[in-house]
Amino acid sequence: APAFAEKFGLGRPALPEEIAAWNVDVAPDGTGLPEGSGSVEDGERLFSDNCAVCHGEFAEGVGNWPKLAGGEGTLDHEDPLKTVGSYWPYLSTAWDYVHRSMPFGGAQSLSVDEVYAITAYILYSNYLVEEDFVLSNENFLDVEMPNADGFIVDDREEAEAHFWNAEPCMEDCKDSVEITMRAAVLDVTPEEETDEVATEQEEITAAADTQEA
């Protein structure tokens, strides 16, 4: 049995105020959620002021910026649209992430009640609550996220067990080799010469449309 770990006596005790300042994560069961509330109505105004320039007035996204709403039922499509409504399993993540890291460039500027309101508005934008809905720490876990059951724990060692095969084919492995796809045809690799960039812009834009940012 391993010996008890030696202590070095380094560091100092963390004070309650310090832990409160940094320990703001929220778990799926609501652990860490502060007291507070916010309405869809307030959220709509806050979203318009703080979020819509990138995410759109209806959370539908602007340009290449993330879409926060829409995409219901697209996860098994060729080009799934993964949003808070269509993809995210837990509302805690939306609250936590907005509170800690949004708006982009002005993070940690929203009050607790403002985060509740914005989260309520994102739910409303995804048609998950009515327009008179008020989200609070008390009804937080009542909200049903559509894709809550959409995730499985990494199963590669079972589903991909056939890749563990240390005796791969070495000779006469196939009869013919045909090219099926070429990167030079798509031609979206950055060039060193700047004069070629302009002529490529259309193709780049076309490729970006098919790309998940």
Partner 1 sequence: MTDQSQPSTTRRGFIKAGLATGGAIAAGGAANAAEPDPLITEIQPWAQGLGDGVDAVPYGLPIEYEDDVIRRNVEWLTADTISSINFTPIHALDGTITPQGCAFERHHSGAIELRKQDYRLMINGLVDRPLIFTYEDLERFPRENRVYFCECAANSGMEWAGAQLNGAQFTHGMIHNMEYSGVPLRTLLEEAGVQTEGKWIYVEGADASSNGRSIPLEKAMDDVLVAFKANGEALRKEHGYPVRLVVPGWEGNLWVKWLRRIEVTPQAIQSREETSKYTDTLADGTSRKWTWEMDAKSVITSPSPQSPITHGPGPLVITGLAWSGRGAIERVDVTIDGGKTWQTARLAQPGQDKAISRFYLDIEWDGSEMFLQSRAVDSTGYVQPTKDQLREVRGLNSIYHNNGIQTWWVNGNGEAENVEIS
| Residues 70-99 interacting with partner 1 (rule: CB under 8 A) | 75-76, 78-80, 82, 84, 87-90, 92-93, 96-97
**Which residue in 27, 53, 131, 138 binds partner 1 (CB under 8 A)?**
27
CB nearer to partner 1: pick between 32 and 131: 32
User: How many angstroms from the chain centroid is the CA of residue 96?
Assistant: 12
Region binding partner 1 by CB under 8 A among candidate stretches 42-50, 58-66, 115-123, 128-136: 58-66
DSSP per-residue letters across 79-100: S----TTTT-S-HHHHHHHHHH
Helix (H, G, I), strand (E, B) or coil at 28: coil
**Which residue in 1, 130, 142, 189 binds partner 1 (CB under 8 A)?**
189
How many residues bind partner 1 (CB under 8 A)? The answer is 93
Region binding partner 1 by CB under 8 A among candidate stretches 27-35, 45-53, 120-128, 130-138: 27-35
193 binds partner 1 (CB under 8 A): yes
176 binds partner 1 (CB under 8 A): yes
Region binding partner 1 by CB under 8 A among candidate stretches 4-12, 38-46, 117-125, 128-136: 4-12
Question: What would the x/- binding string for partner 1 be over residues 135 to 154, using CB under 8 A?
Answer: ---------------xxxxx
C-alpha span between 110 and 42 (Å, rounded): 13
Is 33:137 a contact under the CB 8 Å cutoff?
Answer: yes
C-alpha span between 127 and 18 (Å, rounded): 39
Is 52:67 a contact under the CB 8 Å cutoff?
Answer: no
212 binds partner 1 (CB under 8 A): yes
Task: Name the minimum Å distance from CB 50 to partner 1.
Answer: 14
What are the C-alpha distances in Å from 197 to residues 118, 186, 193? 40, 14, 7
C-alpha span between 73 and 147 (Å, rounded): 10
